[in-house]
Structure 1
Amino acid sequence: MTLIDTPLIDTPLIDIGANLTHDSFDHDREAVLQRARAAGVARMVVTGACRAHSPRALILAQTYPGELFATAGVHPHHAIEYTDECDAEMRALQAHPEVVAVGECGLDYNRDFSPRPAQRKAFERQLQIGADTGKPLFLHQRDAHDDFMAMMKNFDGRLGPAVVHCFTGTREELFAYLDQDWHIGITGWLCDERRGTHLRELVKHIPANRLMIETDAPYLLPRTVRPQPSHRRNEPMYLAHIVEELARDRGESVQAVAASTTATATAFFRLPTASAAS
């Protein structure tokens, strides 16, 4: 499959997770946005994943009103930076209407870039922000399912909607999330024949009103994109490719998946409708 072969999609797409503050975009960010628009990606949620980049995500959202939105949070890799001052900064960012979710936050025991106790403390404090603001949660979990579920359970009935972003987990994990009525974000990991083949079957079980799509750019370039760009950088323009593969795996039309994921993302992040944003 190639991007050229992707059918024209009538519904404007929403990329719910793009790391557009990443320094790999510093030299051509406007061109990246132009390519995304040309590929049918009308709106993007810019991921705020650390103390330095969450404010930058807000600035991008303010620069492109109605097209870009932001999250504000601290990824578990950066949990060691989560001080009282950091908490105050995250709370101040959440006061801006362009910031539509708390996170990226969660637990990552796969790489342990921050000590696990620091990860749990940072996650708990951000869950408290979610409880205090009622904003949606943009969640990360890798190899930490039991602790992740236990910490979320501590906030039962106190949180707004949640999405487990960039889902790569097991069948058991997927159904545990769906049992909580959480949303699922699917990325180009689906297209990775080395480690993502199990997702081909699992995505069939995600209800349409719980399913959203994302690139996680510049990471996770879909391996089935042809031709592969020499720089290997992922971009929001490849979201249409993910939609095509997802539709095939779910046994649905590309148009149906595009329409449902856009409607779900609009409702989840409480975005203005496309007509209102234009």
Structure 2
Amino acid sequence: MIDIGVNLTNSRFLKDLPDVLARAKTVGVSQCLVTGTSVTESQQAIDLCQQFPSYLASTCGIHPHDADQAGDNYIEQLAQLANQHDCVKAIGECGLDFNRNFSTAENQKRVFKAQITLAEQLQLPLFLHQRDAFEEWFACLKPFVGKVPAMVSHCFTGSANELEVCLANDMYIGITGWVCDERRGQALQEIVHNIPLNRLMIETDAPYLTPRTIRPKPKSSRNEPSYLPYVVKTLSALYDVAEETIIEHSTKNAIRVFNLGAANA
């Protein structure tokens, strides 16, 4: 298994990161992609990759929540990080979030469009965020379909129509523990089987979105990569295929899209 989205720079992992990674390896997580959400966090993600070079890779980007804080030369900084470090496998996490609006819509769109252009220039995949902004989000991306190596809709929680648009435009779909939630994840449970296996990726988005199917319930609310098998188990049931099938296809997709090479156990 490859966890394509984990926020290991989050302060909740400061004290025990080596133990967190050891637990992930024990359950069969062969590699993790550390999410960059700002210039600073992207540098920190790279630093982690240098500490665990055979196990971690990273993205490099500015999350829509952080768009208001983007400096004047943020694109130059992101380009430099991506060009200088082989561990950077995608531009992002970038996109639009009109649910929380931690940054203005104007700044979100400006920063998002600049990162899309950067991904085209560097020929790196896009690691994408979208919440309550689908039409404007896709309008930004549409001119670049086929011009960047891949687009990955991270932590997909959208509607059947939104999923259809993403798949029609050759996007990959990242599924998190949201699909394990019998309450807010019900709509996703009903449509997830429509994702072709050659477009499916799996992720925890740790420390967020702890699967509600974990038994016994963990003492800590912190999600971590070792819980990725719970996402696989739920997907296996919803697709009506073996867990090994979910693992095989999602792993191949992640290796191919993010140029990971052979994943190291």
Q: TM-score, normalised by structure 2?
A: 0.97
Counterpart contact for 2:59–2:92, Cα < 8 Å: yes
Gap regions ≥5 residues in structure 2: none
Which region of structure 1 is more displaced relative to structure 2, 151-160 or 174-183? 151-160
Establish whether residue 86 from structure 1 lines up as the match of residue 96 from structure 2. no
Establish whether residue 37 from structure 1 lines up as the match of residue 25 from structure 2. yes
What does residue 8 of structure 1 align with? none
What does residue 110 of structure 1 align with? 99
Write the distance in 2 (CA, Å) between the matches of 1:156 and 1:46: 24
Counterpart contact for 2:149–2:257, Cα < 8 Å: no
Q: Aligned AA for 2:139?
A: A
User: How far has the Cα of 1:82 moved from its partner?
Assistant: 2.0
Counterpart contact for 2:179–2:185, Cα < 8 Å: yes
Deviations 1:37-71 (A, max 9, x none): 11110100000011221101011111111210000
Q: Aligned AA for 1:25?
A: F
Number of matched residues? 264
User: How far has the Cα of 1:100 moved from its partner?
Assistant: 0.3
User: How far has the Cα of 1:84 moved from its partner?
Assistant: 2.8
Any idea what SS the aligned residue of 2:2 has? strand
Any idea what SS the aligned residue of 1:52 has? helix
Deviations 1:158-195 (A, max 9, x none): 22201000000000000000000000000000011221
Q: Aligned AA for 1:89?
A: Q
Gap regions ≥5 residues in structure 1: 1-12
What does residue 56 of structure 2 align with? 68
User: How far has the Cα of 1:115 moved from its partner?
Assistant: 0.3
Establish whether residue 57 from structure 1 lines up as the match of residue 45 from structure 2. yes
Deviations 1:181-210 (A, max 9, x none): 000000000011221011112111111110
Which region of structure 1 is more displaced relative to structure 2, 59-68 or 214-223? 59-68
Write the distance in 1 (CA, Å) between the matches of 2:17 and 2:113: 33
Q: Aligned AA for 1:136?
A: P
Establish whether residue 17 from structure 1 lines up as the match of residue 39 from structure 2. no
RMSD of the alignment, in Å? 1.0
What does residue 216 of structure 1 align with? 205
What does residue 90 of structure 2 align with? 101
Q: Aligned AA for 1:253?
A: A
User: How far has the Cα of 1:156 moved from its partner?
Assistant: 3.8
Write the distance in 2 (CA, Å) between the matches of 1:175 and 1:220: 24
Deviations 1:212-257 (A, max 9, x none): 0000000000011112222200000000111011111011100111
Any idea what SS the aligned residue of 1:79 has? helix
Counterpart contact for 1:51–1:81, Cα < 8 Å: no
**Identical-pair percentage:** 45
Q: Aligned AA for 2:58?
A: A
Change (3 A) 1:19 1:154: same
What does residue 174 of structure 2 align with? 185
What does residue 167 of structure 1 align with? 156
Q: TM-score, normalised by structure 1?
A: 0.93
